[in-house]
Each structure stands twice: as C-alpha cells, then as structure tokens.
C-alpha cells in the first residue's frame, strides 16, 4: 500500500479526545443530589405527583421494574458503581414522558448525556422483550375466530379480524421547506398522518385509556 495514501488517511482521522477526568465532579454527586435519589423518592410519597411525573402510577412502575429489572441490571466495577435498574428505568420513562433532550435528562439525573442515550435504547428494548408476549401475543386460530365473531356481531363486518384508521395531526412547518405533497388530502396546513390498527371490536381491550392519563 502506498505510504502517502496511508499518511493521508491517518491525517484525516479525528484527533483523540483526552479525558481531563474519569467522572466530572458534578456527576460524582449523583447519589446525593441526582433527581432520582432526591425528587423521585419524594414523589413516591404522593401518588398524584408521581403519576404526573412519569405518566405512570407507583404500582405500575414497581411492576414494570420487576419484569425488566433483571434485563437492565449492570454489574459494579472497581472504578465506579453502576446505575441501578430502578434509576435506569426512571431515566427512560422520564424521557418518554416528556420528550426532553438527552442533555436535559442528563443534567437532571447527573449522568452523562451519552449514558442517557444508551440507557433509553437498552431499557426500551428490555421493555419490549419483557412485555411483547403479554401485551401483543400472536393470535391463535381460536383467537382469530373470536375476533372475527366480535366484528360480525358489533359492526356487521364478516370475516374481519382488524381495522386500520388514520388521523391527521397539524404540525408547524419549517421555513426552509417550500414544497408540498398532499397525498389526496389538501388543505392550507401541514399535517402528520398517524395510523392505528385495531385488533379488537372494543377499543378499550387493546387501546387502553385515552388522553393525558394513558
């Protein structure tokens, strides 16, 4: 291989960032001043505020922790203690409940923003793995027949095992975007189309509560 080519490739590599410290001094106070160890523990004394913070009750949080805890637990090392399963679950649920940026969650919980990104990905995957068989089981033959009988009885649709509907949600357009594709639904506004699949003839059996309490 040409030595000049190798030298060019090596020169284009991003310079290695040298860490000034292993853990920032602010992050070292996570166990004393982090949001999980202070605010969340106080919220557990008030079920209403806990529900507003996580969009989930204390009992539901503890039940979910019991199912995903073994999947997200990490071992401690000599250099530092790992983030516990309950705190990892709290970080992920707080991100899902608020939609805040990783950096905002990281400052609140006193962890690195890259750590928050990894936690959200791992915990979300663990939640799917732990709950998919319980909440979205593959229907068997008798299940399909029961679903079809329900649609036939309630809505007079024979041989129907599901329904798909869409909802147009108005969104704010970015100034840089100048072209519009209407897809058969043209109105003076930008919209995001959401699709929902209903596998039960009674929405409450599959959709759950509606609104802010869901």
- Please report the DSSP string for 6-56 in residue order: HHHHHHHSPPPPPPS-SS-TTGGGHHHH-TIIIIIHHHTT-HHHHHHHHSS
Q: Which of 134, 160, 187 is the last residue of a domain?
A: 134
Confidence (pLDDT) at 25: 77
The arithmetic mean of pLDDT across residues 155-179, rounded, is 74
- Host domain of residue 150: 141-206
- Helix, strand, coil abundance in the chain, percent, nearest 5: 50, 10, 40
Per the domain annotation, does 213 fall within a domain?
Answer: no
Of residues 177 and 126, the one with the higher pLDDT is 126
| Single pTM value for the model | 0.66
Same domain membership, residue 83 and residue 159: no
H or E segment at 72?
helix 58-72
Q: How far apart are CA 8 and CA 110, in angstroms?
A: 40
Same-domain status, 67 and 157: no
Q: Domain check: are 119 and 16 in the same one? A: yes
Range among 104-108, 134-138, 202-206, 210-214 rated most confident = 104-108
Q: What is the mean pLDDT of residues 167-187?
A: 58
Assess if residue 194 is contained within a domain. yes
Q: CA neighbours within 13 Å on the CB side: how many for 180?
A: 11
Q: Is residue 115 part of a domain?
A: yes
Number of domains observed in the structure of the chain: 2
Per-residue pLDDT of 71-110, as tens digits, reads 999 988 887 788 999 999 999 999 999 989 999 999 999 9
pLDDT digits (tens, 9 = 90+) for 40-60: 999 999 999 999 999 999 999
Placement of tokens 């292993």 in the chain: 22
In a domain, 214, yes or no: no
């Amino acid at each position: 291989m040409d030595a000049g080519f190798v030298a060019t490739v090596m020169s284009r590599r991003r310079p290695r960032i040298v860490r000034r410290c292993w853990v920032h001094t602010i992050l070292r106070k996570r166990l004393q001043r982090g949001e999980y160890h202070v605010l969340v523990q106080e919220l557990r004394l008030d079920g209403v505020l806990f529900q507003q913070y996580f969009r989930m009750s204390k009992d539901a949080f503890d039940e979910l922790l019991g199912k995903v805890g073994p999947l997200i637990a990490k071992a401690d090392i000599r250099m530092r203690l790992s983030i516990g399963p309950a705190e990892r679950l709290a970080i992920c649920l707080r991100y899902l409940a608020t939609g805040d940026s990783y950096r905002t969650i990281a400052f609140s919980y006193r962890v690195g923003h890259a750590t928050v990104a990894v936690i959200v990905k791992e915990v979300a995957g663990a939640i799917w793995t732990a709950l998919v068989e319980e909440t979205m089981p593959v229907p068997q033959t008798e299940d399909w027949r029961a679903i079809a009988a329900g649609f036939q009885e309630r809505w007079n649709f024979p041989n129907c095992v599901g329904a798909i509907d869409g909802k147009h949600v108005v969104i704010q357009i970015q100034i840089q975007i100048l072209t519009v594709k209407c897809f058969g639904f043209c109105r003076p506004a930008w919209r995001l189309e959401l699709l929902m699949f209903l596998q039960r003839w009674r929405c409450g059996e599959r959709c759950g509560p509606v609104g802010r309490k869901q």
